[in-house]
Structure 1
Amino acid sequence: MLHYLISGLRVVSDFPLSGVAESAFSADPEVHIRRGPLPDTLGTPVLAKPNWMLSEQDFLLRMPGIARIQVSRGCLITLDAECSEADAMPFLLGTAFGALLHQRGILVLHASAVSSNGHAIALCGPSGAGKSTLAAALCQTECNFIGDDVAAIQLNTGGKPVLWPDSRSHRLWADTIAHLGLSERQGQSVRNTIQKYHIEPECEAKAMPLSTIVVVRIAEQAGQTAAIEPCSIVDAAALLRAEVYRHFLAKCMGRDAALFKQISDMLSQVRVLRLTRPREPKRLPETLALLRQHIAEAH
């Protein structure tokens, strides 16, 4: 058995999880990942879509020619790969593990996360907004890496929102790696068919109090300057509902009411900023300077 820490959960796997650093723990595992044959359909689905289906306790993800992945009761993931396990891994660690977090009732955002001065900062936004790039650039200075793409958030025993650590590697496109000078830390490709690579980070090993969420968007026009503005609680609630990881799946799983409460409870203690970043990659330093200023002001 191989041991991992993913979104704060103790995970054991029957096979190596590419792009995830092994983690030692002595307590009982909370999640088991295994290989095994899977059917094309669930026995009693309550909802069926072209590539996935739901039952009361299970989620089945189907990618023809790649894999079928079943997530059960928030504690078991079964992989039936039709190609290399490496090509199936982004789906297992992405959508499938996101479904598992939803099954466990955890608030999970589509976000990269870093820490600064003992506090976590989550960078939300759609694919292509530059979350991973901004996180990687921040980690070249005063910040430490917490996680990439998926951010699991819960209230601790004191009622404070914390962001859980993750041992999944940072994943960046080849041109971003070159631009940030990270070639020496470039690992294997995320999938054989794309030029996106694992970057080995120095990860935080404990839950971090969450102080700031930054919702990132690309400027609509070329030449537009970087800008950050605070969001009201009402606007922040609407923005973050859209940033829930695989939000349509969460809705289909009946999570809407619970997510509304979780986001509301979090927003009473966390500030939300909206960042507009220039389109041009050469203007990344401008965005970073503005972002660092607001991170520093929080502490």
Structure 2
Amino acid sequence: MTQAENERRGNVPPSNKRYFYRTYGLTIASQLELPELPKAEATSQPDVVVLTPGVAEKLEGATFRKGWLEMGDDRCQITIEGVARYRVEDGQRILLDRRVPREVDPVADPGDIRLFLLGSALGGLLHQRHWLPLHVSALKTPSGVWAFTGHSGAGKSTIGAWLHYTQNWPLVTDDVAVIKPHEDIPYLHPGPPRVKLWKDALAALGIQTEGLVRDLTREDKYHLMLNKGFQDHPSPLKALVMLERAEEGEAASLERIRGVEAFKSVMATLYRPEMGTEFNTAEQLMRESIKLAGKIRVYRFRRPWSLDQMNSSIEPLLHEIKQ
């Protein structure tokens, strides 16, 4: 058995070596290699540390427990069965324990371990810093950064990837990006450079699934890591587009929305809102969402669902972006 396998099973102490990366405008020092993230210069004062000690099965003093998530006192613990346990503390530390029960394979896939570390665990850390993590796909267009959001399955990854590949616009994020409320200009700070696409969208874009990482919860969805074509520095957010599915026979349409409706769209875009309400007050989240809605344009975009019509259905969107 290799040392790496032994460590994953919890049989040997973790290495003291540190790897340095950057994401969300943060410098991360990690005991675990994170090839999905851009590398950063070594520093004695990183913003975040990722450590691999043992973690207790339950979060002590938790005020919220539901399924895989426990929260309380600027800490949260995420337990993913068969993968790992993550404890996130004070917006500064992520403690990762790979010694969790597994039904079949005694060794968790390293890609799965990193998937939840870079997703829910980092999302909790962003909320602990009182930032606004937004669940969006965003691109750097000729008129600034446009972000797309909507309920699960609304097609934000599909439309982001479509515009990236057909218009050659750099992707800023395809999962989570963050707004830092203390900044006067609403800069969108990008997260890990990955794209999650359904199998039919990959086929329509001519991308093979061979070698891609399959999503753990959705069999026909795949993860692509794009080391090129991503913006890895913050840019001002110009517009947020709420995606909706058009009724059969309805033409694609783009509508500017304002006021309460725009505010509700921003609130609906928050990543892991249950974490947001735990580590902030409801009043804080509302205040910051209202402020953000007042600084950007907010739209509703309704389009036919067929990928065969995508090039024609995005015409109203392209017209507005290119004005």
TM-score, normalised on structure 2? 0.83
User: Against the structure 1 CA distance between its residues 37 and 223, is the aligned structure 2 distance closer, same or farther, given a 3 Å change threshold?
Assistant: farther
> Are 1:188 and 2:218 counterparts?
no
SS at match of 2:200: helix
**Conserved 8 A contact 1:21-1:169:** no
SS at match of 1:62: strand
Give the C-alpha shift of residue 170 in structure 1: 1.9
Match of 1:106 among 113, 131, 135: 131
Distance in 2 between the 1:257 and 1:57 partners? 18
Aligned residues: 293
Match of 1:116 in 2: 141
> Are 1:232 and 2:232 counterparts?
no
User: Against the structure 1 CA distance between its residues 69 and 117, is the aligned structure 2 distance closer, same or farther, given a 3 Å change threshold?
Assistant: same
**Conserved 8 A contact 1:90-1:190:** no
- Return the structure number with greater relative CO, CA threshold 8 A, min gap 6: 1
Give the C-alpha shift of residue 119 in structure 1: 1.9
Match of 1:223 in 2: 249
Match of 1:171 in 2: 196
Match of 2:34 in 1: 17
User: Against the structure 1 CA distance between its residues 271 and 180, is the aligned structure 2 distance closer, same or farther, given a 3 Å change threshold?
Assistant: same
**Conserved 8 A contact 2:130-2:280:** no
> Are 1:269 and 2:295 counterparts?
yes
User: Against the structure 1 CA distance between its residues 167 and 72, is the aligned structure 2 distance closer, same or farther, given a 3 Å change threshold?
Assistant: same
> Are 1:139 and 2:155 counterparts?
no
Distance in 2 between the 1:229 and 1:118 partners? 17
Query: Please, which runs of 5 or more residues in structure 1 have no aligned partner?
Result: none
Give the C-alpha shift of residue 192 in structure 1: 6.6
Matches within 5 A, 1:1-299: 1-17=18-34, 20-25=36-41, 28-81=45-98, 82=100, 83-117=108-142, 119-140=144-165, 141-155=167-181, 157=183, 159-183=184-208, 188-191=212-215, 194-195=219-220, 196-200=222-226, 201-219=228-246, 221-297=247-323
Give the C-alpha shift of residue 88 in structure 1: 2.8
Partner letter of residue 77 of structure 1? I
**Conserved 8 A contact 1:131-1:216:** yes
Distance in 1 between the 2:87 and 2:263 partners? 31
* C-alpha RMSD of the superposition: 2.2
**Conserved 8 A contact 1:115-1:144:** yes
User: Against the structure 1 CA distance between its residues 36 and 26, is the aligned structure 2 distance closer, same or farther, given a 3 Å change threshold?
Assistant: closer
Question: Could you list the per-position Cα deviations for residues 87-109 of structure 1 after superposition, in whole angstroms to 9, with x for gaps in the alignment?
Answer: 23332222111111000011111
User: Against the structure 1 CA distance between its residues 36 and 168, is the aligned structure 2 distance closer, same or farther, given a 3 Å change threshold?
Assistant: farther
User: Against the structure 1 CA distance between its residues 296 and 177, is the aligned structure 2 distance closer, same or farther, given a 3 Å change threshold?
Assistant: same
Higher mean alpha-carbon deviation, 253-262 vs 134-143, is at 253-262
**Conserved 8 A contact 2:131-2:179:** yes
Give the C-alpha shift of residue 22 in structure 1: 2.7
Distance in 1 between the 2:164 and 2:297 partners? 21
Q: Which structure has the larger Rg?
A: 2
Give the C-alpha shift of residue 85 in structure 1: 2.7
TM-score, normalised on structure 1? 0.89
Higher mean alpha-carbon deviation, 57-66 vs 189-198, is at 189-198
Match of 2:104 in 1: none
User: Against the structure 1 CA distance between its residues 192 and 232, is the aligned structure 2 distance closer, same or farther, given a 3 Å change threshold?
Assistant: closer
Give the C-alpha shift of residue 36 in structure 1: 2.3
Distance in 2 between the 1:154 and 1:77 partners? 20
Distance in 2 between the 1:156 and 1:187 partners? 41
Question: Could you list the per-position Cα deviations for residues 172-192 of structure 1 after superposition, in whole angstroms to 9, with x for gaps in the alignment?
Answer: 2333222112349x7530447
SS at match of 1:293: helix
SS at match of 1:139: helix
Match of 2:12 in 1: none
Question: Could you list the per-position Cα deviations for residues 111-134 of structure 1 after superposition, in whole angstroms to 9, with x for gaps in the alignment?
Answer: 111111362111111221111111
Give the C-alpha shift of residue 2 in structure 1: 2.3
Distance in 2 between the 1:231 and 1:163 partners? 21
